[in-house]
């Protein structure tokens, strides 16, 4: 009989974090859910039960390419029907060879991912870096309102903001105020003097763009989004929603600890680019001393206040091994420029080239319609090409043929109403993209090619579209981010801002690569259940 390798059960229930109880979506009863460890090259069947009473769900394996099973990418209305309450879905998850690194999984429905998430680590036999042990630090947000209140507020004609994050959680833990009541504790990472560690940071926040530093310790970046990098020394990290970094940390020796007169060091986390900045702490805790004090919140931040560094790591971070297949400008077959800005119609929405996604969910998922032959990708492609900007306004997708080389430019624009700007961590499902940089104003090909001459672009699945200014004129460009990708993986892949509020407000696009033939040639067959399972992508069961 079929036996899944892993089982995840999604529930909705009252759950306490940061000394506050909230009705939250959980995986296996906790937030974050269990850490999954998968081996490169190995097929894993992961069964996800939706044990909620009245909500749909899906699980996405953030950062994994999924080209051998595009139906397992976990995007509602794109790659699958959402899983209705009381049902399960078997995901075929196969981390490809060479993908050893740090990932996470999360729900892709509504605002569920704020709590329905967990670390996913891909292991391999060979390790280019030595370290004695490793620790995972999954960073997430805590909101007082429920998912439903937040989604309803963001999508109603009477726009109501979710509110700012109330706490920054490290592995689900946080204690913020010096006078906090309740048993909540600071997140804690334990280390032994003298050993070396790989710390895996996972940006699983809903909203927060976090600047993070560890008292008295600097680190070396060795991995970004599942790809090893050349070592890069830094005193801080800047982590957007969806991004991951591994760093090497050399723990202090007993002697050094004596000199520093401490065995506990604060990890200071600060939100960037929000109207109010929040600073929270976790603890790097050396074993061997008296029991760690995880209830005392420093009355004053031990480290200087973090400031944003626009373009952090751009043109600077290098892949450990030269990336084969980096497409040159000459190889680019099409450039797709996507202007993003906020607008107000009957409610507040985020538009990409004038379109939002939430109001245009298809009746059935694109990939299902490709398998059944209902969606003709060739027609879609021709329409998109003839319109000139690569967008098909009937299916509302960006189609491309296998073999094309795309350059995708995200262009930040002032809101239609008052020219306000935001920071957006853009995430690519499917194959990772070469990040060819970002900057202020408008993308300029000649200037960027000049910069690329001395750079070695890394593959990323999430990179940040900065704003550079708080405000500009309505629709004026202010900040860009550019990617290059060889289209190899047939399937339906969402490219979207990873801020959950923005996603809910329409900041999502769908790229449709290849046709039915390509998909069938590269992936496992689907069963009848996959084609007929029902449910809506909005999160409710009707
Ligand atoms: Cu982690 Cu489509 O997202
Ligand atoms: Cu955004």
Position with higher pLDDT, 535 vs 356:
356
What rounded mean pLDDT belongs to the chain? Answer: 94
Q: What is the per-residue pLDDT for 539?
A: 39
Lowest mean pLDDT among 159-168, 361-370, 429-438, 483-492: 361-370
- pLDDT band of residue 181 (cuts 50, 70, 90) is confident
Q: What is the per-residue pLDDT for 531?
A: 84
Ordered by start, the domain boundaries in the chain are: 1-126, 129-316, 329-532
How remote is the CA of residue 535 from the centroid of ligand 1, in Å? Answer: 20
Lowest mean pLDDT among 2-6, 25-29, 226-230, 440-444: 2-6
- 541 pLDDT higher than 80: no
Task: List CB-based neighbours of ion ligand 2 within 5 Å.
Answer: 424, 497, 499, 502
Lowest mean pLDDT among 7-16, 176-185, 302-311, 491-500: 176-185
Q: Is the ipTM of this complex over 0.90?
A: yes
For the CA of 462, the closest atom of ligand 1 is 1
Evaluate whether 247 touches 199 at the Cβ level (below 8 Å): yes
For residue range 298-350, what is the model confidence (pLDDT) as tens digits? 989 999 999 999 999 999 999 999 888 999 999 999 999 999 999 887 778 88
Mean pLDDT of 165-183: 92
Does the beta carbon of 496 lie inside 6 Å of ligand 1?
yes
Three-class secondary structure assignment of 71-122: HHCCCECCCECCECCCCEEEEEECCCCCCCEEEEEEECCCCHHHCCEEEEEE
Most confident of 176-185, 201-210, 412-421: 201-210
How remote is the CA of residue 244 from the centroid of ligand 1, in Å? Answer: 13
For residue range 493-534, what is the model confidence (pLDDT) as tens digits? 999 999 999 999 999 999 999 999 999 999 877 877 788 765
Does the beta carbon of 106 lie inside 6 Å of ligand 1?
yes
Burial 401-439 (b: 16+ CB within 10 A, else e): bbebbbbbbbbbbbbeeebbbbbbbbbbbbbbbbbbbbb
Q: What are phi and psi of 228, to 5 degrees?
A: -65, 145
- pLDDT band of residue 360 (cuts 50, 70, 90) is low
* 441 membership: H or E segment, kind and range: none
For the CA of 104, the closest atom of ligand 1 is 1
Question: What is the CATH topology of the domain spanning 329-532?
Answer: Immunoglobulin-like (2.60.40)
Task: Please return the burial class of 129, using the count of CB atoms within 10 Å of its CB with bins 0-12, 13-18 and 19+.
Answer: middle
Q: What is the per-residue pLDDT for 537?
A: 40
How remote is the CA of residue 497 from the centroid of ligand 2, in Å? Answer: 5
- Could you check whether 1-126 and 129-316 share the same CATH topology? yes
Question: What is the CATH topology of the domain spanning 1-126?
Answer: Immunoglobulin-like (2.60.40)
- pLDDT band of residue 395 (cuts 50, 70, 90) is very high
- pLDDT band of residue 542 (cuts 50, 70, 90) is very low
How remote is the CA of residue 207 from the centroid of ligand 2, in Å? Answer: 8
Chain centre distance of CA 99 = 16
Q: Which ligand is nearest to the CA of 342?
A: 2
Evaluate whether 463 touches 481 at the Cβ level (below 8 Å): yes
CB within 8 A of 149, min separation 6: which ones?
none
How many whole angstroms separate alpha carbon 110 and alpha carbon 384?
A: 28
Q: Which ligand is nearest to the CA of 244?
A: 1
Q: What is the per-residue pLDDT for 346?
A: 73
Which residue's CA lies nearest to atom 1 of ligand 1? 62
Lowest mean pLDDT among 258-267, 411-420, 479-488, 528-537: 528-537
- 535 pLDDT higher than 50: no
For the CA of 508, the closest atom of ligand 1 is 2
For the CA of 106, the closest atom of ligand 1 is 1
How many whole angstroms separate alpha carbon 183 and alpha carbon 348?
A: 39
Proportion of the chain above pLDDT 90, given as a percent: 85
Q: What is the per-residue pLDDT for 180?
A: 85
Does the beta carbon of 502 lie inside 6 Å of ligand 1?
no
- Classify residue 28 as left (phi > 0), alpha (psi -120 to 50) or beta: left
User: What is the DSSP-derived secondary structure letter of residue 305?
Assistant: P
60 token code pair = 């996405």
Does the domain at 129-316 match CATH 2.60.40.420? Answer given as yes
Mean pLDDT of 363-376: 93
Lowest mean pLDDT among 213-217, 477-481, 523-527: 523-527
- 98 pLDDT higher than 60: yes
How remote is the CA of residue 401 from the centroid of ligand 2, in Å? Answer: 27
- pLDDT band of residue 99 (cuts 50, 70, 90) is very high
Q: What are phi and psi of 33, to 5 degrees?
A: -75, -175
3-state secondary structure of 197: strand
Evaluate whether 348 touches 507 at the Cβ level (below 8 Å): no
- Nearest Cα neighbor of 436 from 417, 416, 408 is 408
Q: What are phi and psi of 486, to 5 degrees?
A: -85, 125
- 359 pLDDT higher than 90: no
Q: What is the per-residue pLDDT for 534?
A: 54
- Nearest Cα neighbor of 283 from 354, 191, 375, 351 is 191
For residue 362, give Cα distances in angstroms to 59, 226, 357, 451: 19, 32, 9, 41
Global pTM value:
0.96
Mean pLDDT of 53-66: 96
Mean pLDDT of 360-385: 92
């Amino acid at each position: 009989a079929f036996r899944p390798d892993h089982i995840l059960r999604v529930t909705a229930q009252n759950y306490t974090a940061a000394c506050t109880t909230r009705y939250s979506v959980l995986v296996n009863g906790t937030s974050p859910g269990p850490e999954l460890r998968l081996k490169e090259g190995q097929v894993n069947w992961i069964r996800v039960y939706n044990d909620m009473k009245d909500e749909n769900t899906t699980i996405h394996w953030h950062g994994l390419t999924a080209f051998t099973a595009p139906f397992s990418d976990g995007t509602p209305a794109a790659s699958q029907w959402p899983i209705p309450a009381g049902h399960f879905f078997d995901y075929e998850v196969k981390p490809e060879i060479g993908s050893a690194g740090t990932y996470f999984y999360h729900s892709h429905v509504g605002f569920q991912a704020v709590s329905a998430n967990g670390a996913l680590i891909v292991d391999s036999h060979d390790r280019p870096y030595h370290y004695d042990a490793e620790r995972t630090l999954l960073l997430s947000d805590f909101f007082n309102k429920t998912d439903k209140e937040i989604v309803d507020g963001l999508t109603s004609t009477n726009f109501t903001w979710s509110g700012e994050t109330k706490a920054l959680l490290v592995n689900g833990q946080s204690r913020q105020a010096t006078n906090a009541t309740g048993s909540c504790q600071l997140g804690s990472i334990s280390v032994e003097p003298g050993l070396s560690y790989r710390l895996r940071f996972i940006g699983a926040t809903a909203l927060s763009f976090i600047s993070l530093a560890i008292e008295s310790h600097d680190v070396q970046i060795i991995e970004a989004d599942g790809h090893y990098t050349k070592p890069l020394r830094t005193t801080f990290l800047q982590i957007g929603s969806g991004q991951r970094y591994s760093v090497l940390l050399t723990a202090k020796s007993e002697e050094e600890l004596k000199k520093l007169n401490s065995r506990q060091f604060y990890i200071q986390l600060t939100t960037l680019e929000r109207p109010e900045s929040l600073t929270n702490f976790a603890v790097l805790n050396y074993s061997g001393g008296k029991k760690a004090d995880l209830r005392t919140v420093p009355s004053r931040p031990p480290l200087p206040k973090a400031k944003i560094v626009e373009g952090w790591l751009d043109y600077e971070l290098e892949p450990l091994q030269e990336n084969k297949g980096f497409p040159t400008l000459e190889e680019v077959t099409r450039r797709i420029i996507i202007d993003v800005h906020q607008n107000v119609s009957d409610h507040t929405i985020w538009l990409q080239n004038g379109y939002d996604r939430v109001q245009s969910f298809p009746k059935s998922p694109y990939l299902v319609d490709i398998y059944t032959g209902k969606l003709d990708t060739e027609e879609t492609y021709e329409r998109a090409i003839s319109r000139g900007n690569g967008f098909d306004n009937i299916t509302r997708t960006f189609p491309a043929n296998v073999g094309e080389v795309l350059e995708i430019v995200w262009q930040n624009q002032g809101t239609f109403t008052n020219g306000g700007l935001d920071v957006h961590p853009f995430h690519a499902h499917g194959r990772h993209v070469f990040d060819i940089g970002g900057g202020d104003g408008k993308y300029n090909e000649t200037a960027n090619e000049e910069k690329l001459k001395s750079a070695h672009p890394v593959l990323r699945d999430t990179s940040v579209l900065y704003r550079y200014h708080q405000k500009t004129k309505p629709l004026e460009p202010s900040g860009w981010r550019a990617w290059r990708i060889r289209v190899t993986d047939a399937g339906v892949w969402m490219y979207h801002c990873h801020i959950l509020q923005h996603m809910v407000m329409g900041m999502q696009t769908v790229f449709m690569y290849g046709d039915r033939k390509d998909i069938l040639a590269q992936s496992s067959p689907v069963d009848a259940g996959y084609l007929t399972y029902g449910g809506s992508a909005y999160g409710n069961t009707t």
